[in-house]
Structure 1
């Protein structure tokens, strides 16, 4: 390292910002064989700017966390190494006084510059708004904070901050973060997204982090082991976000006291092994919310032993994974018996055209504890609808008795006990012409109104009629545009058949089925 680099305070691990808007980390300072002068070997946050992994002409100068994210650059006035916390806070939240209490002209923003008004005493307004001691929520996202300030100065300036966003800053060490928050005794929420930190190499002051409840570390490339090492000093931490950090496993264990985490967010990582994930979270017995969206999970295998390591989970996000089989939802009920909220959007199970038409009904019926699915509340009426439809589907499509049905649909017996068994499909004749194989005899009744709930009688204006229908007939609107609603009458109520273009056979309509039609006329 040369004297010039030492004098500027730049060392390996220093964060920088370049005038083009990009962030990086100094990984090497020195000479490069075959060239003259000083070079910085850097790893770019935006990996597309990189050209190599720290190797030039066969010689390794440094290593990158992400392959091919590195390059060499010259020291330059275009590089910024940031400012202190209080400097950034003042620049963001304090407008300089104009030095006069006389009249000032102000252009009204809504007038597109066409209206000017005169105002008196705006410096007094600026002084009031610039009182940093009043601040509760502070965002210094992208303000290039690189260092802390004296604890006493921070406490005297802004002692009441509860939430602080230091995302996309130039902070490189946890010591510099401790220097900042040590002066913020009421801090509860801290966002450090899109930063890069050196591994912790010394103990941190626990008192500095004692009030912290929520921590965001998205897009920081922190490993699970590095996070666990830091979390030892955050004794009251409850909510953590570690999204988009290229995490492939959570296999790092620690003998230290585990904080009582209530929520963990691992969105957008590479945690695709359900068994490994759940086993790693076994020690987090207070966990209520888990986000695993966008991790490439392909399977939720059956629970092999009880109790489940994540039995306390009440809210689970599995969006944008690769779940394709209904058995995964049956297994999920065993893994998370207290599950109340689930996000499944973006999986083949819910997006595939051949499955999506009944995905919501089937998920609700298979997981009896659910109250919310994909951010939409499940009403008592909808749950009953879904469970009745599910029973009818099983009866129609799964041959055999209870044993065979339970093998594919574990909720079969429970739902039969709750709603009663659906009518068994009548045997199809093995003889007859081709048309007769597609004809079914059903009872049809036209209604003057639709049921107000699943168990109310329907007031009809037509007597029941026994008619033959082609079972490939699809439900659709009438030629005059009225919305036709069709209800399937079961033993203990009615279930509405949606207008999604499926034929009668798809809904389990068979010989002897009683249909009620409401045309809205």
Structure 2
């Protein structure tokens, strides 16, 4: 009878069969699973373990054999029956630390058994290993501040007080991909580490705590928790969150969050950083439920399937009362395709840093144009996709944006079509503000120009604020690239090796200076006309 997937081939850590518990985590050939059944499986003799494997392809069935259901599995093919001696039951946290950081084989022997071992082994063995080396290794454990035990088969704290005695200074602990089965077992570890600030518990299968508030003391110093791949819903995660009274950073990627809910006032009240990457949330209405978190400064909702962004306000240009402290937002790898979503982000009062790569919207224009259009739409933005937004870049982006949609705006003003104006404002909520800042677009800018030679030339005054005696009037072609104008002014003003900085001053808007910062644009693009000025600084 074949009841299991085959020989596991690991060195098993055998326990008394009576000590094996339902819900216990085990490992076999790199695969982890949960014990769901301990007992006989007729017609075979002896004890079998019914295992529900994390990887459904590792199993063979749904916990049934010859028509009898022995245990329930997460997946129709994730179950197997395995002999106890074929699986690894893991090791204590302290044993794993000795194994990972001990450096010699017998550094992993438990302290309680060390005296017995000393009596049993002969002098030659002691001489070969070196007791002084072992003592040094054991004392070095007390200096550890950052411990990484990912995939080390950790199943619990071990002997009471052992961790606190040997590793009291641990501040960061990685327990991802281990054999922990409950938050109580995690708390048994954490309570022995009074300085524990960061904990990674990802990719374990932890049963929800019966009384989470009673475990608060274990996590009293914890500020940063990484808990991805726990297969929790948001509601289940919030049940656990009552254990972490001082949590400031919470990374919970790739769980089963679909529907969110506002957290109670006493939960996550100090949270500054929240990472929801990879959860299938998909609706921004769910994200808005987190909007009352009072201290939240950074939010990552990448790869969640979001299609749009929306904050409920009475007016398109009104700021939202949600996410009052939010400064950084990451929405990469989503399905956002409309500019209206970008305008909605301008409703956030503190947003300074935005990451939005790998969305359909970013494929509409080239990268440089998309960057300009985003900067112009979000007033408070200081960094976009990891690159700082300078004051000059903002002025240029806003002015180009004003000109780009100027013809449409003038037409809407003329026709006074209220419905079309409302639709325009949904995608261009900052446009009226930019008109106040730079002045309304002029109809003359959008008229078809004559093709005569005279109409292709404009007279401008070139001057330097630092050298008032240097003023030149020049006839320049409208089609002249800013790049060529740079070369011209370098010779005229003798700037040497200094690269000049050019700004355009319209005779119609004398108080506004527009940087000519795109070398591949023409003077006509910037709407330079007869009688205008170009300031030269270096």
TM-score, structure 2 normalization: 0.74
Change (3 A) 1:466 1:406: farther
Identify which of 216, 235, 239 aligns with 1:225: 235
Contact 2:325 2:350 in 1 (8 A): yes
Question: C-alpha displacement at 1:297, in angstroms?
Answer: 0.4
Question: C-alpha displacement at 1:201, in angstroms?
Answer: 2.4
Identify which of 166, 170, 186 aligns with 1:161: 170
Change (3 A) 1:488 1:16: same
Partner of 1:112: none
Contact 1:340 1:370 in 2 (8 A): yes
- Count the aligned residue pairs: 471
Identify which of 416, 420, 443 aligns with 2:458: 443
Partner of 1:320: 333
Question: C-alpha displacement at 1:233, in angstroms?
Answer: 2.2
Identify which of 326, 341, 349 aligns with 1:337: 349
Identify which of 142, 167, 176 aligns with 1:133: 142
Pairs within 5 Å for 1:358-377? 358-377=369-388
The whole-number CA distance in structure 2 between the counterparts of 1:418 and 1:517 is: 20
Contact 2:168 2:195 in 1 (8 A): yes
Change (3 A) 1:461 1:86: same
Greater helix proportion: 2
Gaps of 5+ in 2: 1-13, 108-129, 486-498, 507-511
Change (3 A) 1:228 1:406: closer
Change (3 A) 1:32 1:124: closer
Spell out, residue by residue over 1:401-442, the C-alpha distance to the aligned partner (whole angstroms, 9 max, x if none).
668464541112222333344444445459x9xxx59x9835
Partner of 1:196: 205
The whole-number CA distance in structure 2 between the counterparts of 1:43 and 1:459 is: 86
Secondary structure of 1:23's aligned partner: strand
Change (3 A) 1:126 1:411: farther
Pairs within 5 Å for 1:72-221? 72-75=80-83, 77-96=85-104, 127=136, 130-203=139-212, 204-221=214-231
The whole-number CA distance in structure 1 between the counterparts of 2:333 and 2:455 is: 41
Contact 1:361 1:386 in 2 (8 A): yes
Partner of 1:262: 272
CA RMSD of aligned residues (A): 4.3
Moved more, 186-195 or 485-494: 485-494
The whole-number CA distance in structure 2 between the counterparts of 1:316 and 1:343 is: 6
The whole-number CA distance in structure 2 between the counterparts of 1:184 and 1:282 is: 33
Identify which of 406, 428, 437 aligns with 1:418: 437
Contact 1:314 1:340 in 2 (8 A): yes
The whole-number CA distance in structure 1 between the counterparts of 2:459 and 2:134 is: 75
Change (3 A) 1:444 1:136: farther
Partner of 2:247: 237
Secondary structure of 2:247's aligned partner: coil
